[in-house]
């Protein structure tokens, strides 16, 4: 179990977190938040890429700074991922497998297992530079799996991917062992809609909500309305347009508002819940 | 296993292995050319292979700094580093493995240097273990360590700068340390001291290794690479190790200790002789000192004579001496000595071990008598000279400079010709000399045991370095054995035979010493000591330069009188008074002759003529003959 207690982080005068608290247990967590909310900073604190106060982050009840092998429990896919382009997929993964202190005799088996999981077995002997962008991202996911870590962290794993690769990613994630703690940082809500058991919504450096997908949806319950676009001007209260679509030759808007409106209510989605939280509707 | 993959990264880049191969070919070419030159043109000195190696030290620095930056930056740019940082090995592991690859390359290059130098060592029959040690140390300091520092610097630059900034810093570092910069700085600039600190490249007496000492491996040159390696490593640790880890503080503390120790060693006093164009090295240091102090030179006849010297000398980076002098006048209030200004006296004692007061001003020392009469004066001093060196690699001390105290105040140095006069004792003196030194020391005095000498002489010489002493037809020759152009057995025998056939006199010659190859002034070119020692720049030149030693012999006393007249008129008056008591008008002394000439034809004309006579070696007239001609012409 990963516990974050009173985490404070500043970059110069800019305060990112002020006493942030969060608890991550087994399961898949979606870390949602707009750009600049502090998602990457939080991940870098968890992975100790950014130093933290002594007791701010603990794993299984022990502050991480006191655990020499803490990083062996972590698999991490950074936002910007790449491996040395002239190496083969196998060699590139071997480099990281050894850095992860995977026993020498187990390296080959581990690499085979991980590339199978991301469907790259046939490219094991290909040079990294011959892989497509999506394949390289899958290679990144494979290196997260190396050593079968208890905590897997993915920072913006689907950014820039085409729909097919995003779907692949969702499938890979949905097949993960639920006994692991998986944290997927994204601002694309659909990435975690399928596989995510839990969602953490970060906004302005603090946790706006931590709960299940249903609980996030609940945040927008009764606030989602379907309004003809040409009637939007009549609404005096504060609202936020979530999407628009055609219905029977009319352009309809799906809006979120905390005011009681006399328009048709709609069932809130995860994205509605997320938007209502970050827009503070 | 992982380092293997970093090797793959290095090799598969193509640019890195091609550049490395080109540089490898270049250094092989340099050494093979050296072998070919020796085979085609004959011997070039046994250190010519080492010279070829040392010539590429600068290029090693440039090459390793560049490829280290390129390689580490390339891995950084692959975005692998962030993943690696979240592993137990961390980014440090990645960099250490890259460093391992570069170190292996460095070792490969150093090994190729080693192979060529071993070829020279065994193939050219150098056969002196001390030279083997010298070669290995030179390769370690000037090839391996220079390359290692360059690697660390390249790595640090990849951590701190983007490409443009890194290249600017690289160019600045190369300019700051390059020998070309040394050329532009010149000799007398104070910038040199800053430059000298940063210059990591081989330093010889004149950019190359001389056959007496090889390249400088003095403490300053050996400590500098360790200082820079530790300093750069500390910055790397600071950049790579995050947070307040014990490893980080330990690495920085260790680097700090190495830096402090290296600096202390670097600034420890010692002869800077082996520092190329160092403004204090060789004759330049003495020349500057005596030029700046030309108005403070004193000449005064000693009121006492020294019949015997007992010297305990110890040489490490500088000379430490305990010299006991047996004086014949026990009742003087003060004993005046001349001692080279580079040596600082720590203590003076009489025969009972009682401490004596003393003052030291430049070359001049005055020791006050205590309550008891004085039969011996013992001085304890330490320091170093510039032209005449004492350091861990060699010793070159000659009585020409007062490295031991002389009676009275003497002018030892001629500012005009930038050299020491050929100062001798007027009558031979007894010497017992012991030198505590790691290498064999050679002297004109007879050796009683290892590095211990005794005998009677009017001048002494102590030398050590890459020297050996061999007998050729009863004449012992001390020569640099690495100079296989001029000092082969056959060549020495031939040169001595030619010299003996041509020499114009029959003074006994028992030993010949050859001088180091740098400028020592006009008078040191060829010197003859009364115990049958000949000191010369080259044996082959003896037929030409030997007559100058004879000329110097007959002019030596006039030089003293002339200097006395110019620099200290009261001393000249004393000499004149003394001569008038001892000599007659028909058989006058030199001071009387000089005074007569001045009275007859005027001071200006006489001094000009004496000056011309003293420095004209082709003028072989004796001094009295010269004055007779002068007054006749006048």
Q: What is the 3-state secondary structure (H, E, C) of B311-366?
A: EEEEECCCEEEEEEEEECCCCCCEEEEECCCCEEEEEEECCCCCECCEEEECCEEE
Q: Does some domain include residue A126?
A: yes
Query: What pLDDT is stored for residue B617 in this prediction?
Result: 66
Which of A:55-114 have CB within 8 Å of B?
65, 68-69, 71-72, 74, 76-78, 80-87, 91-92, 94-96, 98-101, 104, 107
Does the CA dihedral B73-B77-B79-B80 come out positive or negative?
Answer: negative
Look at residue A157 and tell me whether its pLDDT is greater than 90.
Answer: no
pTM: 0.81
Pairing between β-strand A27-32 and β-strand A198-203 as defined by DSSP bridges: parallel
Are A96 and B86 inside 8 Å of each other by CB? no
Interface test with B, best of A96, A105, A140, A147 (most B CBs within 10 A): A96
User: Is A12 found in the same domain as A145?
Assistant: yes
Out of 2.60.40.10, 2.60.40.1730, 3.40.50.970, 3.30.470.20, which CATH number does the structure's domain B286-550 have?
2.60.40.1730
What are the domain boundaries of chain B? 2-279, 286-550, 568-633
Which whole-number Å values give the CA distances from B420 to B69, B187, B408, in the listed order?
51, 21, 17
Asked if A233 and A192 sit in the same domain, the reply is: no
CB B12 to CB A82 under 8 A?
A: no
Say whether residue A143 is in contact with chain B using an 8 A CB cutoff. Answer: yes
Kindly state whether residues A51 and A90 are assigned to the same domain. yes
Boundary-marking domain end, from A212, A247, A264: A212
Residue in B with minimal Cα distance to A77: B83
Q: Is residue A219 a part of any domain in this protein?
A: no
Nearest to A153 by CA among A126, A122, A193, A184: A184
Q: Are residues A73 and A169 in the same domain?
A: yes
State whether A163 and A248 are in the same domain.
Answer: no
User: For residue A175, what pLDDT is reported?
Assistant: 83
What integer pLDDT is reported at residue B165 of this predicted model? Answer: 94
> Cβ B242–A86 below 8 Å, yes or no?
no
- Convert the pLDDT of each residue in A89-116 to its tens digit: 999 899 888 888 889 899 999 999 999 9
- Residue in B208, B116, B214, B105 with CA at minimum distance from that of residue B154: B105
Identify the helix (H) or strand (E) that includes residue A182. Answer: strand A181-186
Segments of chain B with pLDDT less than 70: 1, 42-43, 182-194, 204-209, 243-244, 271-283, 522, 551-554, 617, 634
Residues A84 and A36 occupy one common structural domain: yes
CATH number at residue A92: 3.40.50.300
* Contact list, A159 vs chain B (CB under 8 Å): none
Task: Return the residue of A nearest to B73 by Cα.
Answer: A84
Which residue in A has a C-alpha nearest to residue B2's C-alpha? A95
pLDDT per position as a tens digit, A161-193 = 788 888 888 888 888 888 889 999 987 787 777
Closest residue, chain B, to A143 (C-alpha): B83
Residue span of the structural domain in which A78 resides: 2-212
Distances in whole angstroms, Cα of residue A253 to Cα of each of A222, A274, B627:
16, 18, 125
Chain A: closest CA distance from residue B8 (Å): 7
Provide the domain count of chain A: 2
A157 and A65, same domain (yes or no): yes
Residue B270 near residue B395, CB atoms below 8 Å: no
Task: Indicate the angle between helix axes B603-615 and B623-633, nearest 10 degrees.
Answer: 140
pLDDT band at A44 (very low <50, low <70, confident <90, very high): very high
Per-residue pLDDT, B585 = 83
Task: Note the helical H segments in B448-516.
Answer: 489-502
End-of-domain residue from the set A212, A235, A260:
A212
| Percentage of chain A modeled with pLDDT above 90 | 26
Q: Same structural domain for residues A120 and A255? A: no
Q: How confident is the model at residue A159 (pLDDT cuts 50, 70, 90)?
A: confident
Q: How far apart are CA A153 and CA A183, in angstroms?
A: 5
ipTM of the complex: 0.82
Instruction: Tell me the chain A residues in contact with residue B89 when contact means C-beta distances shorter than 8 Å.
Output: 98-101
Q: For chain B, how many helices (H) and strands (E)?
A: 20, 22
A239 in the same domain as A181 = no
Does residue A34 sit in the same domain as residue A173?
yes
State residue B272's pLDDT score. 59
> Is residue A230 predicted with pLDDT exceeding 60?
yes
A69, A76, A80: residue with CB nearest B86? A76
User: Does the distance separating the beta carbons of A51 and B243 come in below 8 Å?
Assistant: yes
Instruction: Give the CA radius of gyration of chain B.
Output: 30
Chain A positions touching B13 (Cβ under 8 A) are 86
Do both A264 and A204 map to the same domain? no
The answer to whether residue A217 sits within a structural domain is no
SS (H, E, C) B198-214: HCCCCCCCCCCCECCCE
The verdict on residue A170 lying in a domain is yes
The predicted structure's pLDDT at residue A218: 86
Written as one string, the DSSP assignment of A198-232 is: EEEEEETTEEEEEEEHHHHHHTTTTTEEEEEGGGG
Q: Which of A212, A233, A249 is the last residue of a domain?
A: A212
Contacts of A86 in chain B (CB under 8 A): 8-9, 12-13
Q: Is residue A30 part of a domain?
A: yes
- Cβ-nearest to A69 among B82, B83, B88: B88
């Amino acid at each position: 179990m990963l516990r974050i207690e009173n985490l404070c982080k500043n970059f110069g005068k800019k305060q990112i977190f002020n006493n942030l608290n969060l608890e991550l247990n087994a399961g898949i967590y979606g870390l949602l938040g707009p750009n600049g909310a502090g998602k990457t900073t939080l991940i870098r604190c968890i992975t100790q890429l950014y130093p933290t106060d002594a007791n701010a982050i603990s794993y299984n009840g022990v502050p991480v700074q006191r655990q020499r092998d803490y990083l062996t429990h972590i698999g991490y896919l950074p936002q910007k991922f790449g491996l040395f382009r002239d190496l083969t997929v196998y060699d590139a993964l071997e480099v990281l497998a050894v850095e992860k202190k995977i026993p020498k005799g187990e390296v080959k088996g581990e690499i085979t297992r991980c590339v199978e999981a991301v469907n790259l077995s046939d490219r094991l002997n290909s040079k990294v530079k011959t892989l497509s962008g999506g394949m390289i991202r899958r290679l990144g996911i494979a290196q997260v799996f190396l050593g079968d870590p208890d905590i897997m962290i993915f920072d913006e794993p689907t950014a820039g991917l085409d729909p097919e690769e995003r779907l692949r990613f969702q499938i890979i994630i949905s097949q993960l062992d639920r006994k692991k703690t998986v944290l997927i940082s994204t601002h694309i809500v659909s990435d975690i809609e399928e596989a995510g058991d839990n969602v953490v919504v970060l906004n302005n450096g603090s946790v706006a909500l931590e709960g299940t997908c249903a609980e996030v949806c609940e945040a927008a319950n009764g606030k989602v309305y379907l309004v003809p676009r040409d009637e939007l001007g009549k609404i005096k209260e504060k609202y936020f347009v979530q999407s628009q679509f055609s219905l029977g030759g009319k352009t309809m808007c799906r809006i979120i508002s905390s005011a009681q409106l006399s328009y048709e209510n709609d069932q809130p989605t995860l994205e509605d819940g997320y938007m209502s939280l970050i827009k503070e509707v | 296993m992982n380092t293997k993959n970093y090797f793959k990264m290095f090799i598969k880049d193509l640019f890195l292995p091609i550049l490395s191969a080109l540089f490898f070919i270049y250094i092989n070419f340099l050494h093979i050319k050296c072998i070919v030159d020796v085979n085609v043109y004959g011997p070039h000195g046994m250190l010519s292979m080492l010279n070829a190696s040392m010539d590429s030290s600068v290029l090693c620095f440039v090459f390793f700094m560049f490829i280290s930056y390129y390689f580490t930056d390339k891995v950084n740019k692959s975005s692998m580093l962030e993943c690696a940082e979240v592993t137990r090995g961390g980014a440090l592991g990645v960099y250490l493995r890259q460093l391992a690859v570069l170190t292996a390359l460095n070792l490969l290059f150093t090994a190729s240097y080693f192979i060529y130098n071993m070829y020279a060592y065994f193939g050219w029959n150098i056969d002196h273990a001390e030279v083997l040690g010298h070669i290995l140390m030179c390769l370690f300091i000037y090839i391996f360590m220079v390359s290692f520092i360059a690697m660390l610097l390249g790595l640090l630059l990849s951590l701190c700068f983007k490409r443009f900034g890194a290249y600017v810093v690289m160019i600045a570092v190369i300019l700051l340390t390059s020998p070309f910069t040394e050329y532009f700085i010149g000799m007398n600039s104070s910038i040199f001291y800053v430059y000298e600190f940063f210059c990591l490249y081989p330093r010889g007496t004149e950019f190359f290794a001389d056959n007496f000492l090889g390249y400088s491996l003095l403490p300053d040159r050996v400590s500098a690479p360790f200082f820079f390696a530790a300093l750069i490593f500390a910055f790397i640790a600071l950049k790579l190790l995050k947070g307040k880890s014990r490893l980080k503080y330990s690495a920085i503390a260790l680097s700090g200790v190495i830096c402090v120790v290296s600096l202390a060693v670097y600034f420890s006093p010692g002869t800077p002789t082996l520092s190329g164009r160092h403004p204090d090295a060789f004759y330049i240091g003495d020349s500057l000192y005596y030029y700046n102090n030309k108005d403070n030179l004193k000449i005064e006849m000693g009121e006492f004579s020294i019949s015997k010297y007992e010297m305990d000398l110890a040489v490490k980076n500088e000379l430490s001496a305990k010299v006991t002098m047996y004086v014949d006048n026990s009742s003087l209030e003060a004993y005046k000595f001349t001692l080279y200004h580079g040596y600082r006296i720590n203590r003076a004692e009489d025969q009972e071990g009682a401490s004596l007061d003393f003052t030291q001003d430049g070359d001049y020392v005055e020791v006050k008598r205590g309550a008891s009469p004085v039969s011996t004066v013992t001085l304890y001093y330490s320091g170093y000279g510039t032209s005449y060196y004492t350091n861990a690699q060699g010793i070159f001390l000659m009585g020409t400079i007062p490295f031991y105290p002389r009676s009275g105040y003497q002018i030892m140095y001629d500012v005009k010709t930038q050299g020491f006069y050929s100062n001798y004792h007027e009558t031979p003196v007894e010497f017992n000399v012991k030198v505590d030194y790691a290498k064999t020391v050679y002297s004109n005095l007879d050796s009683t045991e290892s590095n211990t000498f005794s005998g009677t002489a009017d001048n002494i010489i102590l030398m050590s370095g890459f020297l050996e002493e061999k007998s050729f037809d009863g004449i012992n020759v001390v020569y640099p054995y690495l100079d296989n152009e001029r000092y082969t057995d056959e060549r020495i025998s031939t040169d001595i035979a030619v010299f003996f056939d041509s020499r114009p006199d029959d003074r006994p010659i028992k030993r010949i010493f050859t001088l180091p190859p740098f400028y020592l002034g006009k008078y040191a070119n060829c010197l003859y000591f009364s115990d049958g020692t000949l000191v010369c720049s080259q044996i082959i030149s003896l037929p030409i330069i030997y007559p100058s030693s004879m000329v110097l012999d007959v002019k030596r006393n006039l030089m003293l009188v002339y200097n006395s007249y110019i620099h200290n008129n009261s001393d000249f008056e004393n000499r004149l008074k003394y001569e008038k008591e001892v000599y007659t008008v028909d058989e006058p002394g030199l001071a009387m002759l000089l005074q007569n000439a001045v009275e007859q034809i005027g001071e200006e004309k006489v001094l000009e003529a004496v000056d011309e006579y003293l420095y004209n070696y082709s003028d072989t007239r004796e001094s009295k003959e010269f004055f007779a001609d002068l007054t006749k012409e006048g």
